[in-house]
Structure 1
Amino acid sequence: MCIHSKGNEQIYLRALKRADIALWEWNIENSTFFLSSNYSHIIENSKNNFKDLFDFIQKTAADADTASAKNDLIFFLNGNASTYKSEFRVSTNAEEIKFILIRGKASRDIQGKISLISGSIEDVTEKKTLERHIDHLAYYDSLTDLPNRLLFVNDLKAALDNSQKGALMFMDIDDFKLVNDTFGHDYGDLLLIIFCQLIISCIKCLGKLYRISGDEFIILTNEFNSSDELLKLCGNIFNYLKKPFEVKGDKIYITISMGITIFPKDASDIDELYKYADLALYQSKINGKNTFTFFQRQILNSYRRKIDIEQELKSAVKNNEFYVLYQPQVDTVKNQVVGFEALLRWQNAKLGSVPADEFIPIAEMTGNIVEIGEWVLDSVCKTINKMKAKNHDLKKISINVSPIQLKKYNFANRFISIYEKYGISPSLLEIEITEGTLIDLFSYKIETINTLLKRGVKISIDDFGTGYSSLNYLTTLPISTIKIDKSFINNIYNKKNKSIIKCMIDLSKSLNYEIIAEGVETKEQLNLLSEIGCSIIQGYYFSRPLTMDKAEKILIKKRNFGGI
């Protein structure tokens, strides 16, 4: 079907209008400038008398964009681009801002000079608004509208590139998961919004707050002269947090932990600074939360040491790096060994001798304690088997057991299978657990302990008096032994402390428990313990932990421990 030229023209004009596109032409040779009539509809600007494209830019472009818009045109006229393209803001009659995009191509005379440029003007305001919205989503948190981690990295990079002095203050809300679990995520979200408003009011012009993830935030500061100013800022934040937050009519108290690193003093690398602030935050958690910690080099050294221990522990059993020492438990009245405590030791080729109180918490955290614990039990059972084969009068060996081991569903079965492998009586084995572990087992895996008790395995409460045990727990389980912690023995010279120890001893005797005083190192401590009724002693006064061979010699001697 044929459409007449007049009809074609109408279709063309309607299309231009609905597409928000105006046409223009600048005839440089004749010094004329044409602009289609729908321009005023697109731009919503009454200005329509323009000498040329430069004049159009001068009269319509926003002041902040005029220079760059003219530079785009000059760049094209100088032959640096085959197509003219420029995007800038214009003001409407209603003093609103619109974005327009100008495109054009040139016609040239026989000498190759530009004689005419023609093109289009398009309203791209909606596109720019959408782009800005997308950019905002990319750089700002959707809940709090705070700048996010991506913008934080950009801002920190800019600060480092400009050799600015600043600090990262990394913080998170202590036990925030508990808030979400208790009150719900909607409640938690409202709390986060209020929290952010509070922090922003605290830092004012001293820094910028970013939400990194969840309840983790960073303050980036570059407007301070000394660490005293950072201390003051921390003080202000923690003082504000002493007051409750009001959320949905409820009052809730929260605390935060914070880690701080200063650049360029601590580092000038983004990844290192982030790691240092995170390590300082972790140190605040270790220190009991609700505090702040400045990064120090020893924190990094401690972290690296922890990582090294984690890695080396993975192959320690396989490489036969562990060994067990045995510390005698002595009845001072009968002058006899009534048992030994098996103490784990670790000698590593890379780390040397690693103290048990350093590597065991890490082994518990990583889960390696389960494999290590089985190795200890196997080693102890093997030792008992050898001693009994030589007819030594061995009464028991106690083994420290981690709560991580006890919570394993197959712990009791594995324990039984190991001592049965060596054909030894379970009555020769005593499990040492802490007071906290005892209480936890009541609500978790009490059947594990009961299974072993029925077999004849003894139970000892280690570090008694330092935890939070209940008399109910002490009377419910058939515990065999209570061990008074070394911290009490160290202070036995104090009259009140001595009275507390006597109460422990009297309680143990009334419940028919064996009681052992740990960490006895002096004759005076021994005499005071004897005076208040404690006769079984473990500590350096009689013997340090011994190898199996030396432990055997004690059993052969049976008496006279002064020479140990």
Structure 2
Amino acid sequence: MRNVSFDISAIVVLVLLLMSALIRKATIGKTNKIFLSAIVLCIITTCFDIMAAIFDAAGANYRQMMMFSHTGYLLIHNFESVVHVIFVISVMDLWHKLKKNIPLQVFIVLPYLTVFALLLTNPLTGLMFNVDNGIYTHGPLFFTLYICAGSYLLIDIYVIIKNRILITKMKAAGLLSMAGICLLTVIIHLILPQQLVECFGVSLSLFIVSLAVQRPEERLDSDTGFYRHSAYANDAKNSFMSGKHWHVVMLNIANYSSVNSMLGYEQTIEVLKIVSEKIRLLNKNLGNKGELYYLDRGRFRIVFSEKERTIAETCATLLNNELKSKIRYNGFDITLSPMIVLARCPEEIESFKSLMAFGLDFHEKNPYTGKVICAPEIYHHDDFEIKNNINKIIENALENKSFQVYYQPIYSISEGKFVSAEALLRLFDKEHGFISPEILVPAAEKSGAIHKIGEYVFEEVCKFVSSEEFEQLGLDYIEVNLSVAQCMHGDLADKILMIMQQYKVPANRINLEITETAASYSQRVMTDNLNKLARAGVEFSLDDFGTGYSNMKRVVSLPLKIVKLDKSFVDEQANPKMWIFLQNTVKMLKDMNMEIVVEGIETKEMVDAFSELKCDFIQGYYFSKAISKDDFIKFILKSHKKENSVNA
């Protein structure tokens, strides 16, 4: 009797692999299911191999069972090669390419169909093997089995090497090891036919794959059971790289932060589990066509293949309706704000970076309407192209000194003339055109470039203030913005004072603007910077007042001279309650001896309304937008001529 100890060892390994896969929940998704199928097929193959060895040893009385067991073994063992190829294609997510590659489809199907036909007809032809007088012998076409296995081996190697960029080196090595180990065991079996090592080789290769490739604990989120953020990022990147066309339903719970604040972390996780279960059930009802992901902070993704557009649309609609209903949990009626965007990639969102950047915060940048949104409604390619390249754009602008300083005039109500201006950063890139400050400034803060940019802007302002042109304008001062990151820099005050000294700019010619967000910070570095500048005679404005929830004690402790009311107040002036709030806010600030600038003024009616409110200064499009230095000089000189003609 042939040695079946390797087969028995293979069954032990395979059963352990199967149990491990079930325990680790490696049963979700197409790739996991194919891997499980490979394990089950190998178990069946090994059982047939043991059965064949037993009946071969039993002799001529069991010819039919010998024929059955050998045929079953060869049929399933060779089909394992097909499954291995399919598994490799699935791991690399190349289904879309396979569907378009007819020659590859034929090459995958034809060898096994040939073997299948030969084995089914073998009892009549004896071309594959024979059983005579209880002795098993190979037939004249038995070598086709090796040709079949070799062809699939070549397909495996070809697909892995050609598309190696789509997977890690560890995964590529794990997949290639399947081919190498199986080839080695075939050679051993040819040399030592009494040693049944082929099934053990397959089980060993599957074990290596389970370690190097099939690692669900790395891909699954433990709370929801969905694939996690890193898996989504990796799969999405590979899809774009391989040219795959696909659909994604993006769900961001817009009020996640509020729910988390109300319930706390642990209870919020329980609510997310309820949401996850609703998504899982919905996907099941739609035929489990979607791949489910949970990223973080209430952000879910459901990915569908190219042909499943209708299912993706249905999923988005049903999910929106389901999640808008109140969720009853632990005595609470929880109302979620599910903001859902349906996107077609790469037709509507063209790159991995754009997809990830867009998905991060679309719920914060767009109002919640309660309806499913199609990506083109809120996704703008040019903005995300700029975001993806913003660091390079900033680097080039610093190198080429292509930043510009614009000025927006500020009008004094009491004096009836322009007395100051706000300096504003502008950047016009050769390739991308105008770069919005809303994109530019946060990116510069994140990269640290804001410090160099801030120095450049301040130096340009000081050059202007120290010039004869500025003296002719009769302006009192120029306002310069400071970002949060600048305020936190230890040598900010020293650099500002050094530049002012370099250009001989008096302290009363500069007014530094800090935002309400920056003012709410209580870090010592920022406080030291502001106090040092204040002692040198520099005055401060609080910008965007009313847009945040400041610590008022912190705000009033700062050396502020001017408070700038945000445009949002102006937009709500028709609201009687808002007007009462404005009246009391202005009175409070006046009682603290602060001057008030109103931003965003666009009409004569607005000017009159805020003049009656006893505000001090007006800034907005009613007078002028931010303009270049040369245009600003012309604008102010022209306004002087008007003033003189009126006075005359």
- TM-score, with structure 2 as normaliser: 0.60
CA distance 1:543–1:46, shift in 2 (3 Å):
closer
**Amino acid aligned to 2:422:** E
Q: Does 1:384 align with 2:462?
A: no
Which structure 1 segments of 5+ residues have no match?
1-12, 22-38, 88-98, 107-116
Q: Which residue of 1 aligns with 2:214?
A: 139
Taking the TM superposition and a 5 Å limit, the aligned residue runs for 1:241-256 are: 242=327
Among residues 270, 281, 298, which one is paired with 2:359 in the alignment? 281
Which structure 2 segments of 5+ residues have no match?
9-48, 80-114, 120-126, 130-137, 150-181
Cα separation, 2, equivalents of 1:539 and 1:81: 86
- What are the superposed Cα offsets for residues 532-561 of structure 1, whole Å, 9 maximum, x if unpaired? 222422234444445545655747986854
Among residues 280, 286, 304, which one is paired with 1:221 in the alignment? 304
CA distance 1:558–1:140, shift in 2 (3 Å):
same
**How big is the shift at 1:432?**
1.0
CA distance 1:242–1:129, shift in 2 (3 Å):
farther
- TM-score, with structure 1 as normaliser: 0.68
**Amino acid aligned to 2:214:** Y
* Structure with greater strand share of residues: 1
**Amino acid aligned to 1:340:** A
Cα separation, 1, equivalents of 2:283 and 2:563: 53
Cα separation, 2, equivalents of 1:562 and 1:421: 35
**Farther off after superposition, 409-418 or 257-266:** 257-266
Q: Report if the CA contact (8 A) 2:248-2:312 is conserved.
A: no
Give the secondary structure class of the aligned counterpart of 2:517: helix
- What are the superposed Cα offsets for residues 247-267 of structure 1, whole Å, 9 maximum, x if unpaired? xxxx99999876543479759
**How big is the shift at 1:80?**
7.4
Identity %: 22
Give the secondary structure class of the aligned counterpart of 1:207: coil
**How big is the shift at 1:190?**
10
Cα separation, 2, equivalents of 1:460 and 1:310: 29
- What are the superposed Cα offsets for residues 420-460 of structure 1, whole Å, 9 maximum, x if unpaired? 22122223211112211110245773222222222221110
**Amino acid aligned to 2:128:** I
CA distance 1:461–1:275, shift in 2 (3 Å):
closer
- What are the superposed Cα offsets for residues 292-319 of structure 1, whole Å, 9 maximum, x if unpaired? 7543384434311333554322222332
Q: Report if the CA contact (8 A) 1:244-1:253 is conserved.
A: no
CA distance 1:455–1:78, shift in 2 (3 Å):
farther
**How big is the shift at 1:413?**
2.2
For these two proteins, the number of residue pairs brought into alignment is: 497
* Structure with greater helix share of residues: 2
Taking the TM superposition and a 5 Å limit, the aligned residue runs for 1:449-468 are: 449-468=530-549
Q: Which residue of 2 aligns with 1:510?
A: 591
- What are the superposed Cα offsets for residues 152-202 of structure 1, whole Å, 9 maximum, x if unpaired? 689989x999xxx963346689989x99xx999x99999999876664333
Q: Report if the CA contact (8 A) 2:282-2:315 is conserved.
A: no
Q: Which residue of 2 aligns with 1:95?
A: none
**Amino acid aligned to 2:496:** F
Give the secondary structure class of the aligned counterpart of 1:398: strand
**Amino acid aligned to 1:203:** N
**Farther off after superposition, 357-366 or 208-217:** 208-217
Give the secondary structure class of the aligned counterpart of 2:543: strand
**How big is the shift at 1:241?**
9.6
Cα separation, 2, equivalents of 1:212 and 1:479: 46
**Amino acid aligned to 2:614:** G
- What are the superposed Cα offsets for residues 63-104 of structure 1, whole Å, 9 maximum, x if unpaired? 8638968758739744674997999xxxxxxxxxxx9x8889
Taking the TM superposition and a 5 Å limit, the aligned residue runs for 1:77-96 are: 77-78=139-140, 81=143
Q: Report if the CA contact (8 A) 1:517-1:534 is conserved.
A: yes
Cα separation, 2, equivalents of 1:493 and 1:40: 87
Among residues 590, 601, 615, which one is paired with 1:534 in the alignment? 615
**How big is the shift at 1:324?**
2.2
Cα separation, 1, equivalents of 2:143 and 2:642: 102
Larger radius of gyration, structure 1 or 2? Answer: 1
Q: Which residue of 2 aligns with 1:328?
A: 409
Q: Report if the CA contact (8 A) 2:405-2:425 is conserved.
A: yes
**How big is the shift at 1:142?**
2.3
Q: Which residue of 1 aligns with 2:42?
A: none
Q: Which residue of 2 aligns with 1:369?
A: 450
RMSD across aligned C-alpha pairs, in angstroms? 5.3
Q: Which residue of 2 aligns with 1:317?
A: 398
Q: Does 1:74 align with 2:166?
A: no
Taking the TM superposition and a 5 Å limit, the aligned residue runs for 1:185-204 are: 199-204=279-284
**Amino acid aligned to 1:455:** A
CA distance 1:351–1:279, shift in 2 (3 Å):
closer
Q: Report if the CA contact (8 A) 1:401-1:431 is conserved.
A: yes
Among residues 290, 302, 310, which one is paired with 2:383 in the alignment? 302
